[in-house]
A and B are shown apart, each in its own frame.
Chain A
Amino acid sequence: MSDEKIVTEEAEALVASEQTEAPAADGGKKQKKPPLSKEEKKILWQARWSRWKAWVYLLPAIVILGIFTVWPIINTVRISFMGQWTTEGGSTWWEGYSYSAALNPNTHYVFGFNNFSSVVSDIDFVTCLTNTLLLTVITVPISTMLALLIAVALNSIKPLRKVFQTIFFLPYVTNSIAIGMVFAAMFQMVWPNPTGEPMSVGIINTIIEAFGGTRINWMNQGSSHFANMVVLVIYIVWNALPFKILVLLGGLQSVNKQYYDAAKVDGTSRFRTFWRITVPLLSPMIAYVVITGFIGGFKEYTSIVGIFGEKMGPVGNDWSLDTMVGYIYKSMGVSEGKAGAAALILFVIIFAVTMVNLYVSKKKVHY
Chain B
Amino acid sequence: MSEETMVLETVDTAPEEAAKEPSKGAPAPKNDIEKTSKKQKVVKVFVYIGLYTFLTLVAITVLFPFYWMLISSLKSLDEYNRTVPTLWPTQFVWSNYGAAFTGGLNLGRLFLNTVIVGVVSTLLSLVVTVLSAYAFARLEFRGKNLMFGAMLATMMIPGELFTISNYLTVSEFGWLNTFTALIVPFLVSVFYIYLLRQNFMQIPNELYLAAKVDGTSDLKYLWKVMIPLAAPTLISITILKMMGSWNSYIWPRLVANDDLHRLITVGLRDPSAFIYVDPATGMTTNLVNFPAQMAAVVLVTIPLLLVFMFFRKYIMRGVSRSGLKG
Residues of A within 8 A of B (CB): 1-5, 8, 51, 53-55, 57-58, 60-61, 64-65, 67-73, 75-76, 79, 99, 149-150, 153-154, 156-157, 160, 164, 166-179, 181-183, 185-186, 190, 192, 199-203, 206, 238, 241, 243, 246-247, 250, 264-270, 288, 292, 295-296, 299, 301-302, 305-306, 309-310, 325, 328-329, 332, 336, 339-340, 343-344, 346-347, 350
Contacts and interface: CB of A to CB of B under 8 A. Distances in A.
Contact of A182 (B82, B188, B297, B304): B297
B66 A288 contact: no
A356 to B, nearest CB: 16
B120 to A, nearest CB: 14
Contacts of B111: none
B interface, size bucket: 35 or more
Contact of B188 (A61, A181, A246): A61
A181 B293 contact: yes
Of residues A2, A64, A241, A288, which shows the largest number of chain B Cβ atoms within 10 Å of its Cβ?
A64
A67 B59 CA distance: 45
A238 B61 CA distance: 9
Given A267-B21, A328-B163, 9 more contacts: A61-B129, A65-B154, A171-B62, A179-B65, A200-B85, A206-B84, A309-B269, A340-B165, A346-B160
A72 B162 contact: yes
5 contacts: A61-B128, A61-B129, A164-B59, A181-B297, A206-B84
B323 A164 contact: no
B28 interface: no
Given A181-B293, A267-B22, A175 B59 contact: no
B320 A305 contact: no
Interface in B178-213: 184-188, 190, 193, 205, 208-209, 212
A328 B131 contact: no
SS of B interface (majority): helix
B304 A175 contact: yes
B63 A170 contact: yes
Contact of B164 (A65, A72, A153, A178): A72
A11 B129 CA distance: 28
Contacts, number: 281
Interface stretch (B92-100, B102-110, B230-238, B243-251): B243-251
Nearest to A64: B188
B140 A156 contact: no
Interface in B224-274: 243, 246-247, 249-250, 254, 265, 268-269, 271
B290 A176 contact: no
Nearest to B144: A54
A185 B269 contact: no
Contacts of B301: 174-175, 178-179
7 closest Cβ pairs, A-B complex? A267-B22, A72-B165, A4-B140, A54-B141, A57-B135, A54-B139, A75-B165
Nearest to B87: A203
B167 interface: yes
A186 B65 CA distance: 8
Given A55-B141, A157-B48, A167 B19 contact: no
Nearest to A75: B165
Given A157-B48, A173-B304, A192-B286, A328 B160 contact: yes
B300 interface: yes
Contact of B268 (A178, A185, A270, A292): A178
A54 B138 CA distance: 9
Contacts of B160: 299, 325, 328, 343, 346-347
Nearest to A205: B85
Interface in B277-309: 286-288, 290, 293-294, 297, 300-301, 304-305, 307-308
Nearest to B82: A200
A86 B28 CA distance: 90
Contacts of A99: 168, 171
Interface in B115-161: 127-129, 131-132, 134-136, 138-141, 144, 147, 151, 154, 157-161
B316 interface: yes
B80 to A, nearest CB: 7
Contacts of B154: 65, 69-70, 73
A76 B312 CA distance: 39
A182 B162 contact: no
Contact of A164 (B55, B135, B138, B190): B55
B58 A168 contact: yes
Contacts of B66: 170, 182
Nearest to B265: A177
B15 interface: yes
Nearest to A65: B188
Contacts of B129: 61
Given A99-B171, A200-B81, A246-B316, A68 B184 contact: yes
Contact of A65 (B63, B69, B84, B151): B151
B74 interface: no
A309 B249 CA distance: 13
A269 B40 CA distance: 13
Given A64-B188, A347-B161, A185 B293 contact: yes
B83 interface: yes
